[in-house]
Chain A
């Protein structure tokens, strides 16, 4: 069945390390997103991609990087430049449309700095 798979579910990062969160979808959606959620807070957009080989910064892109080499995959790298990376990260996708369509989410990845 179709959906969005994020891995790993839990990840620990040491100071100064880069880590990569995986996101794979088999929904055949063009658009993919990465959101950050801090405890008790809403979602903040990190990066989004409307099409393969293209992506745009969201509201809090500093310290993060992405790639979109395949339609199905949109990995997020949390770099050492991100000073406060401990958070819950959500990957999402939706079909194309300028007027806003239903967004489908993965189950999220918890990142903790140790």
Chain B
């Protein structure tokens, strides 16, 4: 069962613009993670935000978490063509399983 739902499903922007992706989830969580997947490759971990955190930064990435709305957003600033990939949110609640959403496909045009 999928818990996280990303929005939009696909996003096309020009190089240099900012890209914002959203994730909504249904149950309580311990943390939320964002992953990146280049076409035909494995997923790579980008950032983890814990349920008691509201915002986290890593380089050009900014993640926010609103547990009252059960939502998170990933902002990529000053996008580059190399940022073209699919981005997934993943939630970990009490227990063992981490559940992935369906992903947002980002296209950054040079």
Contacts and interface: CB of A to CB of B under 8 A. Distances in A.
A108 B41 contact: yes
B16 to A, nearest CB: 27
A100 B30 contact: yes
Closest CB pairs A-B (n = 9): A100-B92, A105-B42, A42-B102, A99-B30, A43-B100, A105-B43, A102-B45, A107-B42, A42-B100
A interface, size bucket: 20 to 34
B59 interface: no
A100 B44 contact: no
25 contacts: A41-B103, A42-B88, A42-B100, A42-B102, A42-B103, A44-B2, A45-B97, A48-B96, A48-B97, A59-B1, A90-B43, A98-B94, A99-B31, A99-B92, A99-B94, A100-B31, A101-B92, A102-B45, A103-B35, A105-B44, A107-B42, A108-B40, A108-B41, A108-B42, A110-B40
Interface in B1-17: 1-2
A1 B24 CA distance: 36
B30 A41 contact: no
Given A98-B95, A105-B42, A110-B40, 12 more contacts: A35-B100, A42-B100, A43-B88, A90-B42, A90-B43, A92-B43, A98-B94, A99-B94, A102-B48, A103-B43, A105-B44, A108-B41
A110 B95 CA distance: 30
Interface in A23-75: 31, 35, 40-45, 48, 50, 58-59
Contacts of A42: 2, 88, 100-103
Given A41-B102, A42-B101, A102 B88 contact: no
Interface string B47-81: 01000000000000000000000000000000000
